[in-house]
Amino acid sequence: MKVLVCGGAGYIGSHLVRLLASKGCQVVVFDNLLTGHREAVGDAPLIEGDLLDPDALRTLFAAHRFDAVVHLCALSEVGASVTDPYRYYQNNVTGTLNLLDAMRTADVDKLVFSSTAAVYGYTNATIIDEHHPTQPINPYGASKLMVERILSDAAAAYGLRSVALRYFNAAGADPAGDIGESHHPETHLIPNVLRSALGRSGALKIFGDDYPTPDGTCVRDYIHVNDLAIAHQKAIDFMVDHAGAEVFNLGNGQGFSVSEVIAAAARVTGSDIPFEWSPRRAGDAPVLVASSIKARKQLDWHPEFVDIDGIIATAWRWHSHQRY
């Protein structure tokens, strides 16, 4: 099978590229390298380009015959989406439409789409499944939900087969320690906690201590990046025998607050984590925890990393010897 991974030089994409190559797939990476890293791709061919460039996509699909496409290209900072929504809708929605148009012209009918738990917005539910109302509270989540709607319409109109994977919080790194999470600037909690432990940044900022949670800090479901990669591979296999547009949550089914993650990082690193309190960020939901029962049943997907200390330990191995 020949697979195009759009965004394959990024955090999740690079782990997926490694997994697919280990399974014998031919992998081609398409990435604008805005947040991705050439070094993370390994031996896979990398074509530098942008989904906002239809000509680049036409050239790409004319040069290769793909069996499936994985779409991980997105702007994903919640706060930035609130302050610059036009940029987020253009990149995340228009870019996806360009990709879908190129796929249709090339008669490629299978797409795995990187969606997000941000499509759910505020919720009082303890555990969120795929039937939970989708009411995004920021442009980032709204842009992802719009693409999910487009995929549903494309299934009915054109026969496109798709799987949208609603990630909760991606975390960790490949246990080998040679690829991992590297964003500039870094906005995700676990890498910023570890950067503080290493003395590479100032005190960690905790955004909000007055949420309706047991300790007042946001609660999130952390899923290991290698488990996410496996889910993408299983989604590709799923589409071979299943038509239509499907949606799956990907999470561990348990939540950890910001304060609990800091405590776990202190245990793993053996270091105190300096932090300071800051006001809430616009667009942050108090609690997001997944039910992944549907993915477990239909994709036969079972996360291997379920302990927060173990997830952080793999990230610590990467950040301690970060290469890019």
Instruction: Show the tokens assigned to 289.
Output: 């925890």
* C-alpha to C-alpha distances, 266 to 62, 261, 275, nearest whole angstrom: 51, 9, 12
Q: Could you give the 3-state DSSP secondary structure of residue 138? A: coil
Candidates 140, 167, 211, 222; catalytic one: 140
Peptide bond into 54 cis (omega under 30): no
User: Rounded to an integer, what distance in angstroms lies between the CA atom of residue 235 and that of residue 158?
Assistant: 20
> Please, what is the Cα angle at 33 between 12 and 20, to 5 degrees?
35
Element (H, E) at 22: helix 11-22
Instruction: Show the tokens assigned to 294.
Output: 């549907």
Q: Is 158 a catalytic residue?
A: no
Nearest alpha-carbon partner for 160 in 204, 84, 100: 100
User: Rounded to an integer, what distance in angstroms lies between the CA atom of residue 60 and that of residue 134?
Assistant: 34
User: Which residues are designated catalytic?
Assistant: 140
